[in-house]
Amino acid sequence: MKIKVNRINSANAEIEAEISKETINSKLEKIAKELTKTASVQGFRKGKVPVAVVKKQYGERLIQDAESEALRDVLNKGLDELEVAMSALIGEPNISKFNKSDDKIEATVKVAMRPQINLESYIEMVEEFDKPVITDKEVGERIEKIADSQAKFVDLKRKRAAKDGDSVTIDFEGSIDGELFEGGAAKEFALVLGSGQFIPGFEDQIIGMKIGEEKVVKVTFPENYGSDKLAGKDAEFKVTLHNIQEKEKVEIDDAFAEKLLAGQDDKSLENLKAQVKAQLENEAIGKLYNDELKPALLETFVANINFDLPQFVVDQEIDVALNKKAGTMSEDEIKELREDAAKLEALRESFREEAERSVKATFIIDALATAENIKVDENEVMQIVYYEAMQMGQDPKEAYDKYKEAGYLPAIQMSMVEDKVLSQILNSKMKEV
């Protein structure tokens, strides 16, 4: 057996081999002898089956097993010459060439290794930035919103016209071109003005109405409305307003704070303000990180941390992009690609730059997670999936099982790792103002 290795770069290598027919025959003989101990062939006792009979019974399978064993030898000897441990490989070795002739097999095995990434100066690539400042005014406005959400609707003390934020009780009857339509009428319907519960323009025209007043409200259904019969149509609603309620003012004091901070030792208004300020700071930091700093930081790392990429991983990423693109193409376009290899290859190459960037970013995040001692276990992934499912009114376990079956959990886990890694690095560069 002749072996020749070619280290393309630190992440990719090729092992070329010439396997003689004698080598294959020798391995076939060895495998056949081993099989005589366990083979069941009619007319022979177990363990007493002649080698010649085994060869005849399992001929093609024995040849395939002998060739597979020879290829394993090629891989092992090639890795020894490359001084690469099996554990350093990524993915399965790829047999890119396998030519059989009467006297030999010529084979080429491609292997990919985990990239060696130098993170020596990654912290120096991160610029310092000021922590977002939250003003007392912003804290006050948030607390007022909380108080408003806690307020109850009560009947008006003095009669007046309806205004934004009021809860009104109305009857309405809708028609298009003089004909009533299904679902367009209700009695004693409670509507908070400004809630956006009705189609655009409806609630605005209720503002200014008084108790007992009737009015024709004219609106146009949105083009993307759920019902094709109503989408884009002009409609009229005959509206009668029966009652107006306004929100009862909630006093923002220690008693109000005590209700919100139930279970805490310090139930003062000052503590409530401190907690609201901390919440606003976290929201501002989260927005700054997600909208600006994290994307920019990852791009900085991708641009400045250089290493060789395993080619087969890049090719897999290109295949994903190509399949996604194919899902948007017509049958004629797909047929054209199948019949024109050059055009298909050109389309594949158009995804290469983005694929390389994506693969590079993934390996960088993985290396940074090790450097920053960041881990996300299966339990954390389950918690985030359960939480999001509950937020959307879905069954958490069903959602998790569905993601698991579809193979989405590793991607969710990687996304969580990326978020934690970049957040921790940025936190170390945030300055108090």
**pLDDT, tens digit, 9 for 90 and up, residues 41-84:** 666 666 666 777 767 777 788 888 888 999 999 999 999 999 99
Question: Which residue, among 205, 199, 201, 191, has the nearest Cα to 225 in the 3D structure?
Answer: 199
The whole-model pTM stands at 0.75
Please give the structure tokens belonging to residue 418: 């990326």
Cα 25 from chain centroid (whole Å): 51
Q: What is the pLDDT of residues 390-400, one digit of tens each?
A: 988 889 999 99
Average pLDDT over residues 224-245: 93
Q: What percent of the chain has pLDDT over 70?
A: 97
| Cα(422)–Cα(175) distance, integer angstroms | 55
User: Which pairing describes strands 12-20 and 104-112: parallel, antiparallel, or unpaired?
Assistant: antiparallel
Q: What percent of the chain has pLDDT over 90?
A: 76
Q: What residues pair up with 243 in beta bridges, in sequence order?
A: 169
pLDDT value, residue 183: 87
| Cα(71)–Cα(76) distance, integer angstroms | 9
Q: What is the pLDDT of residues 147-203, one digit of tens each?
A: 998 899 999 989 999 999 999 999 999 999 999 998 899 999 999 999 999 999 999
| 229, pLDDT greater than 70 | yes
